[in-house]
Amino acid sequence: MQKGWQPVYYSDKMHLVQIAKALLADHNIESFEMNRKDSTYITIGDIELYVKDTDVMRAKYILEQNNL
């Protein structure tokens, strides 16, 4: 995990994480995903979407306004 980044979105569905990532990119917010799914049991765990500390509040607001 890199310093200065915080998780703003979690999902077990990759397509929802990609939608959230694209939405943030449309608002010039850099993000990256980290797959925390278990390699043996893919139904266990989530994919996390991280943004820079300075963008956390804005990112959460944008995601909330878009029902994500």
Distance of CA 32 to the CA centre of its chain: 7
Other CB atoms within 10 A of residue 58 CB = 15
Write down the pLDDT at residue 21. 97
Q: What is the mean pLDDT of each run of 10 residues along the chain (68 residues)?
A: 89 95 97 82 83 97 95
Domain CATH for 36: 3.30.70.1530
Write down the pLDDT at residue 61. 97
Write down the pLDDT at residue 7. 96
Residue 58 φ/ψ, nearest 5 degrees: -65, -40
Write down the pLDDT at residue 28. 97
Write down the pLDDT at residue 42. 61
Please provide the distance, in angstroms rounded to a whole number, between the alpha carbons at the two ends of the chain: 23
Q: Determine the longest span between alpha carbons in the chain, in angstroms.
A: 36
Containing structural domain, residue 29: 5-65
Q: How many domains does the chain have?
A: 1
